[in-house]
């Protein structure tokens, strides 16, 4: 497994460098190294277009060299590497890169905090999460630049899941907080390097994956090593962000900071339609995964446990309480707003 990961990393880094560098750079060109949580096949959609756009516009003023999952450091060490300045910028969620902040638990998939991908940018830009994230990361020398939504969280498994009982004992690759929540239903959370997941499914080390929606299952090859896709989801959208070392960020001229923000926004927009359309299309037309469902009345008990989980997290600190209260108010507002914001 280790040899396979090293081979993939070695093969991926060459085209990444070729695609994202400029043949001739001025001696005073600002150069950044950025690592994403995503492996090469997924990064081609969720980050490469935005960095290519930035490099093209910035020209010899600034160039960003992009690295994929685990190429410079393991994903769990991304925060520390960025804080030290080993890496200048990162695309990840707070949870999987182990940020030492009060908001880390809400990154990735906080159970049932969102129903649709548009919920995430509204929570950050209209309901106040941006300000909390900025405060928390400033305390630890990191600039939180921008948050956005990815895909919903579903199970892709070898064996069919048609009831909560079917989840018991299943070894599932998932995010730390999602794993903490799912363990009460008998799920056994497993933490492995992202590039090892396909092989782990083939060898039987894993029974399934709760890391993405169906678009990623097809894009990264997981649909080739799983058989079933559970339509019930534990969150409507992954919440991830762009971050930078605070010193490196402050050294940038204001126009380059603005350009970086614009390219991040372009990336968020691209993912909105790429995932939203992809999820529907592959459920209807995808040939590889059979869809299964847990009955609504049974799944409602999982949602109820999520609200208890929110209160458990909120009790841990004042900052976590602030975030949970915002999530609660937002979801209550959406229910009151009715269609098309919430259906039942």
DSSP result, 97-143: TT-SSTTGGGSB--TTS-SSTTHHHHHHHTSSHHHHHHHHHHTTTEE
Residue 18: is its pLDDT beyond 50?
no
Q: Which domains does the chain have, with CATH numbers?
A: 2-150+238-280 (3.40.190.170), 154-235+287-317 (3.40.190.170)
Q: Work out the pLDDT band at 343, boundaries 50, 70, 90.
A: confident
Determine the average pLDDT of the residues in 27-40.
95
Residue 15 has pLDDT above 60, yes or no: no
Residue 6 confidence (pLDDT) above 70: no
In the predicted model, what is the mean pLDDT of residues 283-305?
97
Token readout for 159 is 């064996």
Give the torsion through C-alpha atoms of 205, 206, 211, 213, to 10 deg: 130
Q: 22 vs 46, which has greater pLDDT?
A: 46
| Residue-level pLDDT at 195 | 86
Q: What is the mean pLDDT of residues 82-97?
A: 96
Does residue 8 have a pLDDT over 70?
A: no
Question: Across the chain, what does the average pLDDT equal?
Answer: 93
pLDDT tens-digit profile of 116-137? 999 999 999 999 999 999 999 9
Beta 290-292 vs 228-230: how paired, if at all?
parallel
If phi > 0 it is left, if psi is from -120 to 50 it is alpha, else beta; for residue 128 that is left
């Amino acid at each position: 497994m280790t040899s396979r990961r090293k081979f993939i990393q070695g093969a991926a880094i060459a085209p990444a460098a070729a695609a994202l560098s400029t043949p001739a750079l001025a001696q005073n060109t600002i150069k950044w190294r950025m690592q994403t949580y995503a492996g090469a096949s997924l990064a081609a959609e969720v980050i490469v277009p935005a960095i290519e756009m930035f490099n093209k516009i910035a020209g010899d003023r600034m160039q960003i060299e992009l690295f994929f999952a685990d190429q410079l450091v393991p994903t769990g060490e991304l925060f520390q590497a960025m804080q030290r300045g080993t890496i200048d910028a990162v695309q990840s969620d707070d949870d999987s890169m182990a940020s030492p902040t009060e908001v880390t638990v809400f990154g990735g998939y906080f159970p049932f905090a969102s129903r649709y991908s548009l919920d995430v940018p509204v929570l950050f830009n209209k309901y106040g999460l941006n300000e909390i994230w900025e405060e928390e990361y400033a305390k630890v020398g990191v600039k939180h630049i921008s948050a956005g939504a990815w895909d919903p969280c579903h199970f892709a498994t070898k064996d069919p899941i048609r009831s909560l009982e079917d989840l018991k004992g299943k070894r599932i690759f998932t995010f730390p907080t999602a794993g903490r929540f799912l363990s009460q239903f008998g799920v056994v959370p497993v933490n492995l390097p992202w590039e090892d997941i396909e092989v782990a499914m083939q060898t039987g080390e894993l029974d399934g994956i709760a890391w993405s929606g169906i678009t990623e299952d097809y894009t990264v090859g997981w649909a080739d090593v799983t058989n079933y896709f559970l339509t019930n989801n534990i969150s409507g959208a992954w919440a991830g962000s762009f971050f930078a070392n605070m010193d490196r960020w402050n050294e940038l001229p204001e126009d380059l900071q603005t350009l970086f923000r614009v390219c991040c926004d372009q990336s968020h927009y691209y993912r909105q339609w790429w995932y939203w359309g992809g999820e529907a299309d592959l459920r209807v037309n995808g040939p590889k995964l059979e869809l299964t469902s847990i009955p609504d009345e049974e799944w409602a008990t999982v949602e109820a446990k999520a609200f208890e989980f929110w209160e458990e997290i909120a009790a841990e600190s004042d900052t976590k309480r602030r975030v949970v209260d915002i999530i609660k108010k937002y979801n209550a507002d959406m229910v009151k707003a009715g269609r098309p914001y919430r259906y039942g």
